[in-house]
């Protein structure tokens, strides 16, 4: 089992090429158990390619990826799915399943008794405050409610209270298309999940949200990592001006030790 001080995920010199174009260029970094890491960058920076490479959805052309100290290619797909879950940008589930049944779909990689899976679904429902919605029909939910259930589903896929530090949850732009209410709710859910010692890797567009909730920020441009550090060490507006080719300003809120970028 990985501890919070051990490397959970290591990328060493990752390159991805498509039709002669470099999508990822020599990407290297380490993540530790229980961190919440946000990936930020302009369109075409390589953010989605990076999360697809980490999740083995896209093959890499050069470099190595290690998960819990083992080459990620050496994991059987079902075993890797028990350690790493992915929430894609779009979910198209259209069957009239209940909320509890949708969450239970996440337990597919686990060969355990049904009673164990049912208990885990109940745990997830409670952790994400979904118990009262367990019998609602998924297709009748709002987009924000559906996103919350999908987060619960991928959590169920990797749920193991005895081995949380070895688990990774990857989310590609989870706040996209959500209104402000559900964005706030989902951000609070991400913080809740991180307290459960599950490592989160998420692609973000909102700099201020990422700076507020993340343990680490990874910025990308033209397929390369330009910065990887804690938000406290990235309070330099030039980092984001160079990243997005814009002129942001940083202001400090009165009576708060908080900086906002505009």
User: pLDDT of 99-110, one tens digit each?
Assistant: 999 999 999 999
Q: How far apart are CA 70 and CA 12, in angstroms?
A: 13
* Confidence band of 41 (pLDDT split at 50, 70, 90): very high
Phi, psi for 108 (deg, rounded to 5): -50, -40
Collapsing DSSP states into helix, strand and coil, what is residue 23?
Answer: strand
pLDDT above 90 covers a percentage of the chain that reads 73
Residue 162 has pLDDT above 70, yes or no: no
For the ranges 5-9, 86-90, 209-213, the one whose mean pLDDT is highest: 209-213
Dump pLDDT digits (tens) for 102-157: 999 999 999 999 999 999 999 999 988 899 999 999 999 998 899 999 999 999 99
**Please, what are the domains in the chain?**
7-261 (3.40.50.300)
**What angle (nearest 5°) sits at the alpha carbon of residue 193, between those of residues 87 and 132?**
85
Position 18 pLDDT exceeds 50: yes
Model confidence at 33, in pLDDT bands (50, 70, 90)? confident
Give the per-residue pLDDT at 55: 96
Whole-number Cα distances in Å, 11 to 46, 51, 130, 151:
15, 12, 35, 25
* Over residues 31-38, mean pLDDT: 92
Give the global pTM: 0.91
Using the 8-state DSSP alphabet, how is residue 249 labeled?
Answer: -
């Amino acid at each position: 089992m990985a501890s919070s001080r051990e490397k959970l995920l290591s990328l060493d010199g990752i390159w991805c090429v498509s039709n002669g174009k470099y999508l990822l260029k020599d990407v290297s970094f380490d993540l530790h158990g229980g961190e919440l890491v946000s990936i930020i960058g302009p369109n075409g920076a390589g953010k989605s390619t990076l999360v697809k490479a980490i999740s083995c959805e896209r093959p890499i052309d050069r470099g190595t990826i290690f998960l819990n100290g083992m080459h990620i290619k050496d994991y059987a797909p079902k075993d890797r799915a028990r350690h790493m879950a992915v929430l894609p940008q779009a979910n198209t589930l259209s069957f009239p399943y209940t909320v509890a049944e949708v969450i239970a779909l996440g337990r597919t990689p686990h060969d355990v008794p049904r009673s164990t899976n049912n208990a885990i679904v109940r745990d997830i429902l409670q952790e994400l405050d979904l118990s009262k919605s367990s019998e609602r029909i998924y297709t009748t939910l709002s987009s924000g409610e559906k996103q919350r259930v999908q987060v619960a589903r991928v959590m169920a896929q990797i749920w193991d209270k005895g081995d949380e530090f070895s688990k990774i949850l990857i989310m590609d732009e989870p706040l996209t298309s959500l209104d402000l209410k559900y964005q706030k709710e989902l951000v609070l859910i991400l913080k809740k999940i991180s307290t459960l010692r599950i490592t989160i890797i998420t692609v973000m567009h909102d700099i201020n949200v990422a700076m507020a909730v993340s343990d680490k920020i990874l910025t990308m441009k033209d397929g390369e990592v330009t910065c990887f550090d804690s938000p406290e060490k990235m309070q330099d507006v030039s980092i984001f001006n160079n990243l997005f080719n814009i002129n942001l300003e940083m202001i400090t809120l009165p009576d708060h030790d908080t900086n906002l970028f505009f």
